[in-house]
Structure 1
């Protein structure tokens, strides 16, 4: 069931793929603590209100640099949160660039076993169909999902920051109506009937 749940989470142009096994190579040491100077703040101004993020470039430098590349180019402006996936007592919302001309190359996977970050309530992470496939689609959790952290049999998903203000907005998006006929396979019924647009994404004062 866990493999099925993780496979169902990936949302790509093609059908979801099963998560491959993690590489055999050892991971780098996990950082011991968050360093305030390593945090980059980004505001997502959505149709439902602002979401302020603190991105940890110290622990997840590759993933944060990738997200900021989209922010700085203005490529997240006008893009939607389009998915609301229930999980336990909460779930996640997923969004990202839907214009193929505004997609950068896939990035290296930074697993939780390397970064020391976790897929907990308020975390922002990258959607993927396996290590090295993440590009822009991202999610925000409203509940802890330990199953998304790296395990021996799964590389998991890569969190790279936290919501510091605006969880009420995230929860409102998660609670928005979904279209029971949209989506395929396990994702059917998880697509928002009316996607919530990101009006503007920009760096905030640190």
Structure 2
């Protein structure tokens, strides 16, 4: 992504986004899984649903349906008993969705390149580790997470959705061992708004 915007002289900094009334409460161990983002092929939440199903875990899909065609193509998956479609949330409701979960699941499409993943910081600041799917190395997930806050499954883009879901399920299982208070402490330090905006304000 930084190559695409080279003419604008981009800087490397973690994405920190906090909305009104989205201050995180003290971390507690959560339950279920949560996926947050827009529902379309670029974000590919159907793979998160598949991974949750493999583990027999319930998953909450939080975000607006941007692509109705994509949603219809995967309608059977999204209608599964282990899936709750929560729609778009903001403010305290979104923060609570992160805080209540045991793991936040991150996915994206094979050809999609993220400029910055706001949900990584939002989840860690709430004390919820992240299990991420990546199709190449050097992604935002690898930059934003560490061994104490998440796990990244790097999968060959020629792999099937089923193979990707299996790898993601293993990453989710890894996060089950992570401590919510430790995740939050690291998240609050790494994704600090003041540090973020100072970095933006002092760019060359």
TM-score, L = length of structure 1: 0.28
Higher helix share: 2
Higher normalized contact order (CA 8 Å, seq sep 6+, divided by chain length): 1
